[in-house]
Amino acid sequence: MPIRTNRGRTAVYRRLWGWPLRSPRHLITSIVGVFVVVTTISVVIPNAIKPPPRGGTAGTTSTVTTGSSGGNQVGVLPTATSTALPTKAQSPTAAPSSAPVNSNAAAVATAWVDAFSRFEPGKTTKEQWLDGLDRWTADEVFPRLQSVEPANVPVVLDKTVRTIKSFTDSAEFEAKLEEGKLIVTVAKLPEGWVVTDWTKVG
């Protein structure tokens, strides 16, 4: 017969709560029971609400790789594409190789040194001095000559030039001065062999 009064329900609840305290055995049994119930709930509920894995059913895995053709292949390992590294560093630009002196280069150097030393104060004007050098001098360096004062040009003792260095498209020559040496650089340009630099040494 069901219990219909609050007093009757209280008596029943009091018996249930008091049962674990009747003896040590009842207390241990109650603790073990509560532990089992809590453990079961903590395991069963998460598994029940856990969403299924994406891309297939649980326990099934697949390996998808993209081949060189762009399609998907199952169970095929990807092929690594690598660029071969250089085995050694590239060699620097090779220096120009020596070559026998060109006769035209030597002739230009000799003519330039001769014209360079032909200024005579009171007899030769600067324009005449420049005219004598114009045909033997590169256009890009001729303005440098225009800034030189001919009266200050060192005296050339020996107008015969001596080869210092010679390459296929350039050469260096020297002429003896009263003090030091005059170094003249000649190069082969589209217009021919011309003087591209000069300097006094010593």
The pLDDT confidence band at residue 129, using thresholds 50, 70 and 90, is: very high
Query: What DSSP state is assigned to residue 11?
Result: H
Quick one: pLDDT at residue 8?
58
pLDDT > 60? residue 3: no
Query: What's the whole-number average pLDDT of the chain?
Result: 77
User: 44-81 burial by CB neighbour count: b if 16+ within 10 A, else e?
Assistant: eeeeeeeeeeeeeeeeeeeeeeeeeeeeeeeeeeeeee
Find the mean pLDDT for residues 137-147.
Answer: 94
Map residue 187 onto helix, strand or coil: strand
Instruction: Give pLDDT tens digits for 33-44.
Output: 778 777 888 777
- Using DSSP bridges, classify how beta strands 192-201 and 181-189 pair: parallel, antiparallel or unpaired: antiparallel
The pLDDT confidence band at residue 75, using thresholds 50, 70 and 90, is: very low
Quick one: pLDDT at residue 194?
97
Contact status, residue 66 vs residue 72, Cβ threshold 8 Å: yes
* Distance from C-alpha of 65 to C-alpha of 77, rounded to nearest angstrom: 7
pLDDT > 80? residue 5: no
Greater confidence (24 vs 48) lies with: 24
Instruction: Give pLDDT tens digits for 161-192.
Output: 999 999 999 999 999 998 899 999 999 999 99
pLDDT > 90? residue 146: yes
Query: What DSSP state is assigned to residue 170?
Result: E
pLDDT > 60? residue 25: yes
Find the mean pLDDT for residues 77-81.
Answer: 46
Up-side HSE of residue 178: CA atoms within 13 Å toward CB?
5
pLDDT > 80? residue 55: no
Quick one: pLDDT at residue 41?
81
The pLDDT confidence band at residue 52, using thresholds 50, 70 and 90, is: low
Greater confidence (113 vs 45) lies with: 113
Backbone φ and ψ for 26, nearest 5 degrees, come out as: -65, -40
Contact status, residue 194 vs residue 171, Cβ threshold 8 Å: no
pTM of the model: 0.53
List domains and CATH numbers for the chain: 15-41 (no CATH), 103-201 (3.10.450.540)
